[in-house]
Amino acid sequence: MPSRGAPAPSCARRPGRSYAASVKTRTALALAASLILPPAARAAEKTDTIKVVGWHSKGDAYKTEVAVRAVKGVSNAAADFARTVVVVTYDDKQATRQQLDKAIGEAGYSTGK
């Protein structure tokens, strides 16, 4: 228990200021900061569905998925053996479609159109 004359803990409410007002202020500041950032600072996430040729098993699909996930900028990759596609989500500022195609090629498969 704080002694008399000691400052109030930082988590204590300020007199006359409600919790809702504090939340509104923080929300407004966060929104302003997000609008001020230049567009280049914000990640531009992109999702591509890539047709893959040469798979003969689910192991081939898994091998391709792992190779694509290793590309810098890829946030998710999901191989679908039945449809013979890999769905890739990536930051197009860090990775390109050509890099994804190259990773698939290095895994031993090719991309279809």
- Along the 113 residues of the chain, how does pLDDT read in single tens digits? 555 655 555 555 555 566 666 667 777 666 666 666 655 555 589 999 999 999 999 999 999 999 999 999 999 999 999 999 999 999 999 999 999 999 999 999 999 86
Q: Give me the pLDDT at residue 102, please.
A: 96
The pTM of this model reads 0.62
Tokens of 107: 């895994």
Mapped onto helix, strand or coil, the DSSP state of residue 19 is helix
Burial environment of residue 63 by CB neighbours within 10 A (0 to 12, 13 to 18, 19 or more)? middle
- CATH number 3.30.530.20 given to 42-111: no
| Residues 6 or more apart in contact with residue 67 via CB below 8 angstroms | 103, 104, 106, 107
Burial environment of residue 86 by CB neighbours within 10 A (0 to 12, 13 to 18, 19 or more)? buried
Are the C-beta atoms of residues 91 and 70 closer than 8 Å to each other? no
